[in-house]
Amino acid sequence: MRVLVSVASRHGATAEMGEEIALELARAGHDVHVVEPDEVEGVTDYDAVVLGSAVYAGRLAVALRALVERFGGQLRARPVWLFWSGPVGDPPLPITPPDDVHVIADAVGALEPRCFVGRIDPGVLDLSERALVALTQAPAGDFRDLDAVRAWARTVAENLTAQPV
């Protein structure tokens, strides 16, 4: 199946997850296209879509939300999976999902939205981001579990194979 993977990432951690997901889907035999949300011109060419977003200040990325606003109808007409990368630390915090994740999931009919633990690299943050991290005492580090990301991608691949074309 022809699959679009579109991930909104500010500092690369979530984009790398998207690349891992794309690799797993391709390994399973799917024709995978990775396109940044702002570059997506429509989804009618795809049989299925995987959307991903980093979370900042309790919300999914603007680019992801804008993509859903532009193509909500087209997205709803095909299987869509949604993941986000947000909580950091061990145990990962915050435990609450982004404020808008259910709205976005409902808007596209996303199948089982999935949270993955993220990464904070202090070296790439701008001043306001550093201030927010200091204020919330969010721990720096790479807490991502890429094996979990790949395993999720394999379940997506299996489900895609099972979807009627």
Ligand X SMILES: Cc1cc2nc3c(=O)[nH]c(=O)nc-3n(C[C@H](O)[C@H](O)[C@H](O)COP(=O)(O)O)c2cc1C
Examine residue 56 and tell whether it contacts ligand X (CB under 6 A): yes
**Nearer Cβ to ligand X (77/132):** 132
| Contact residue for ligand X among 34, 48, 49, 55 (CB under 6 A) | 55
Examine residue 89 and tell whether it contacts ligand X (CB under 6 A): no
**Nearer Cβ to ligand X (79/98):** 98
| Contact residue for ligand X among 89, 94, 109, 141 (CB under 6 A) | 94
Examine residue 120 and tell whether it contacts ligand X (CB under 6 A): yes
Examine residue 6 and tell whether it contacts ligand X (CB under 6 A): no
Q: How far is the CB of 135 from ligand X (least distance, A)?
A: 9
Q: How far is the CB of 30 from ligand X (least distance, A)?
A: 23
Size of the site for ligand X (CB under 6 A): 24
Burial class (CB in 10 A: 0-12, 13-18, 19+), 135: exposed
Per CB under 6 A, the segment of 8-16, 39-47, 71-79, 149-157 that binds ligand X is: 8-16
CB atoms within 10 A of CB 96: 10
**Interface residues toward ligand X, by CB under 6 A:** 9-15, 54-58, 85-88, 94, 118-120, 125, 129, 132-133
